[in-house]
Amino acid sequence: MKTRYTALALAGSLVVLAGCSTTNATGGDSAAVQSQLEDAQARAQQSAAEAERLRTELSSARTAGTSAADLLPPNAEPGHCYARVLIPAQYESGSETVLASAASQRIEIIPARYDYVDETVMVEEESTRLEIIPATYKTVSERVMVEPEKTVIREVPAQYEEVAETILVKPAYTMWKKGRGPIERLDSSTGEIMCLVEVPAEYKTVTKRVVKAPARTVEEVIPAKYETISRKVVDTPASTREIPVPARYETVKVRKLVSEASSKAVDIPAQYRTVPTRKLVRDSRLEWREILCETNTTRGVVSRLQSALNTKGYDAGAVDGILGNQTLAAVKKYQLDNNMASGQLTIKVLDDLGVSL
């Protein structure tokens, strides 16, 4: 029973040493409170697991005769926090010559050898060709009727002549005229002498145009018209004749086989290459390291840590002085990238980032 209480006491001490305690959020927003709660839960789970492991080690130590003091950090100082962290394995780099390809053989093909010789070959067979003899022509004269004989009706106009004709202009008439005589008047009581005079008719000679012969029609025969023309006619029709064409030969270069193709085996030596090697010098292990905990940290330290991580390219989130999951994830990635002890936020990480407490 005493052993059980001793293990629980050691586990409780480890919880304090690891800085796993919850903090009260006052005045923070809901996101900050949630982050702190998750952080506290994670630390509580880690502390519980570490306590269980310590109980197991303590039990083993009792069996082996080891004291409980051997399971605590050596040379611990007051006001500091410690935790067992995972120290990564250590490797030694080297090189090794390995076989890249084994010795073998390859088949080398020796191509056939050819030579060129002159040879007379027929390039065009004997044949015949047709020669066209064109037609010959001659010019002949020929009298052709260009207009046939025809009968036309021609009008003969009327003939006129001029004749003189006397025409009555004014017929004869009688009129009274004063008479004259030896005694024209005896006294004033007698009248004048009046004579009845006959005035002869008046005539006028006029010229007029009269028909001598009336108009008529006559039929007139117009003889046919002929012309002499020249035209080209075939004298000798076109024809063909066969002309023999002799065969044609040329001297050409002919490729003749001189030696057949063959093959031979060629030895290929083995090839080696040098490859880098990593030799395990020391296995990964758990060791006590000073860590950042509630006892030795402030919001200012966390803010400086977040700023340093962001500067190095590790996304620690907003610089708010809260050690949340995003900041812890950035710390873990930084530790793994730099082959540092992981599992807790060690003081070595702060020193490496230049963050002062």
Q: Mean pLDDT in runs of 10 for the chain (357 residues)?
A: 35 36 44 68 64 61 53 74 75 80 86 85 85 88 83 84 82 79 56 77 83 83 85 87 88 83 86 82 74 79 91 91 90 89 84 86
pLDDT at 311: 92
Asked if 261 and 112 sit in the same domain, the reply is yes
Distance CA 93, CA 8 (A): 44
The alpha carbon of 101 is separated from its chain's Cα centroid by a whole number of angstroms, namely 48
Per the domain annotation, does 14 fall within a domain? yes
CA 351/CA 222 separation, integer angstroms: 145
27 assigned to some structural domain: yes
Do 343 and 301 share a domain, yes or no?
yes
State residue 320's pLDDT score: 92
Same-domain pairing of 156 and 225: yes
Cα distance between residue 345 and residue 357, in whole Å: 13
Residue 174 in domain:
yes
How far, rounded to the nearest angstrom, does the alpha carbon of residue 320 sit from its chain's CA centroid?
52
Residue 229: its pLDDT value, please? 85
Which domain covers residue 261, as residue numbers?
108-126+249-265
> In a 3-state reduction of DSSP, which class is residue 10?
helix
| Residues 58 and 116 reside in one and the same domain | no
304 lies in the same domain as 345: yes
Q: Are residues 120 and 149 in the same domain?
A: no
Pair (43, 67) in one structural domain: yes
Indicate the angle between helix axes 299-312 and 325-337, nearest 10 degrees.
50
* Same structural domain, 143 and 230: yes
> Does residue 278 lie within any of the structural domains?
no
312 and 343 both lie in a single domain: yes
- Measured CA to CA, the distance from residue 226 to residue 151 in angstroms comes to 17
The pLDDT of residue 326:
92
Total domains in the fold of the chain? 3
